[in-house]
Structure 1
C-alpha cells in the first residue's frame, strides 16, 4: 500500500518510462519475450529491519479492547513502501501510517499481495472510515473521506470479525486521545 502522492508521480512518469523500455529494451539486449522478474517475497523479519515495531490497541463500540503488533510507517519512504510484497500476515499484525499533519489521504494496493482492511484515523484516534477487504494489486484509489492523521492496515476480515466500525478508538501515542 502506498500513498496517492507516489501514485501521482508514477502516473506522470510511467508513459515516458514505458516508451524508453519499448524503444531501448531490445537495443540493450533485453529479450522482449522474457517474462518480468518475480516480485520479491517479503517476510515479517524483512519488515522488522525497515520499520520500527510497536503496539496499538483498538477500542470497539462494544467496549472491547483489541491489541495489535504494528509496524510504524512514519516517513515518506516507509509510507511509500508499506506492506508491499508481503505474502502473509498474522491475525494480530498491523501497519500504522503516521502523517506529519492531519490531511486527506488516498491509498492503493499496488504490489500488495494480501487483502487488507484499511482504517482511516483522525488526530484524536477516532476511526472515520473503513475500507474492508481491499483487492490485492488494485490501482483503484481508496480515499480517507475526511481529514486523518493516520491509517491502520489490518488483515482483511479483521474489522468485521472484531466489530471495528467507524467511531472505534485507536489507542497509540501518535494520536491525541488519552492512553489507558
Structure 2
C-alpha cells in the first residue's frame, strides 16, 4: 500500500499526463455546454456534422497581414491557425509562395458558413487557390486537419468578426 503522499503524486501525474495528451492530440473537441461560451478574438469555434472544435488563431485583418499570412513559418501548433478577415465579402485567391508548411484553407461567407475547403495546399506552390466569391474569412490550419476532422462545406464558424445580426452562430452576449 502506498502512502497518501504517493497517491497524491500519482493523481497529479495522471492529471499532467491527461493535459499532455489533450494538448498533443489536436484541436479541442468541445461539449455543447463549452461551445456556448462567449467569443474571443484569438479563438474560432467550428461546428458541423463532425461535432465541434476550437482553434487558437492569429488574426490577419489588414492588407499587409493578409499578404504575409503564414509565410516563412517552419511549423504551427496542431490546434492553431490564422484567420484572414476581409472588410467585405470578396473573391479570395491564395497561393503558397514562401509558405513552408502544408495548409488547409477553409473559406467562409459573411454569415460564418463554410463554403469550401482546400486541403493540403503544397508548400511553395504558386498555383492560385480560388476560394470563390462571397468569401468574408479564410481559416488556415495545418494540412490534412480539415479532412481528418470532417470539416466540410456547411459547417459553421463563430468569431467576433462575424456580425451577430447576420451570423448563423452568433457570439454569446457577455
| Global fold match (TM > 0.5) | yes
Alignment of 1:24-39 (within 5 A): none
Distance, in Å, in 1 between the alignment partners of 2:48 and 2:74 is 28
The runs of at least 4 aligned residues of structure 1 exceeding 2 Å deviation read none
Partner of 2:55: 68
Matched, 1:139 2:126: yes
What number of residue pairs does the alignment pair up? 127
For the 8 Å contact 1:128–1:146, the answer to whether it is kept is no
Partner of 1:91: 78
Partner of 1:30: none
Partner of 1:130: 117
Distance, in Å, in 2 between the alignment partners of 1:175 and 1:111 is 29
1:90 is displaced (CA, Å) by 1.1
Distance, in Å, in 2 between the alignment partners of 1:133 and 1:60 is 20
TM-score by length of structure 2 reads 0.70
Partner of 2:171: 179
For the 8 Å contact 2:89–2:133, the answer to whether it is kept is no
Distance, in Å, in 1 between the alignment partners of 2:160 and 2:103 is 23
Matched, 1:54 2:42: yes
TM-score by length of structure 1 reads 0.68
CA RMSD of aligned residues (A): 1.1
1:170 is displaced (CA, Å) by 1.0
Per the alignment, in what secondary structure is the counterpart of residue 153 of structure 1? strand
Distance, in Å, in 2 between the alignment partners of 1:65 and 1:97 is 20
Distance, in Å, in 2 between the alignment partners of 1:80 and 1:163 is 28
Structure 2 stretches lacking a partner, 5+ long: 1-40
